[in-house]
Amino acid sequence: MRSDLHFVPLALLYLYLLVHSWEPDTLSLILPGSLAEGFKGGFSPQFLPSLSGIQLLFSRVVTAASLWVHIMAINLYAARAVYLQGLAQGVPVRHTVLLCAVCGPVGLLSHLATCALWNPVATSEQVITAPGLGPAAEAA
């Protein structure tokens, strides 16, 4: 679990889908507007994407698939971070890892709440660290 190699297949799949979803109008849907308008002075938010542009962009099947893989990779990364932090701090993480994997931000919020509720209860004798994690591993 300490290795990042399990993200490689997701990254390669995302790259493949991103390349195959690119169309001539993709950049103009992501960043509408022009540089000439942007340099006229003042606050000119013409490069902010519009909701209709995003809707059109993700109505394309391959682009929607690339978004799904992107979100899945981010959620998996969040779940991994929660898992490793839970091991290091002795906090229960089964529920938060599942929530992170399915709906990332809710899982992170759950983990923060669990840490806030668990840490005042835990004493230094109750904290169990996994082999290779924690202050003893960093000193080695």
Count of the separate structural domains present in the chain: 1
What stretches in the chain show pLDDT beneath 50?
Answer: none
Is residue 139, in this structure, part of any structural domain at all?
no
The residue range of the domain holding 101 is: 5-38+48-123
Are 140 and 118 contacting, i.e. CB atoms less than 8 angstroms apart? no
Residue 26 lies in a domain: yes
Give the pLDDT confidence score for residue 85 in this predicted structure: 92
Residue 119 lies in a domain: yes
Predicted pLDDT at 53: 87
In DSSP notation, 48-62 reads: SPPHHHHHHHHTSHH
Contacts of 58 (CB under 8 A, 6+ apart): 64, 67
pLDDT at 3: 77
What is the spatial distance between Cα 101 and Cα 121, in angstroms, rounded to a whole number?
27
pTM: 0.69
- pLDDT value, residue 121: 59
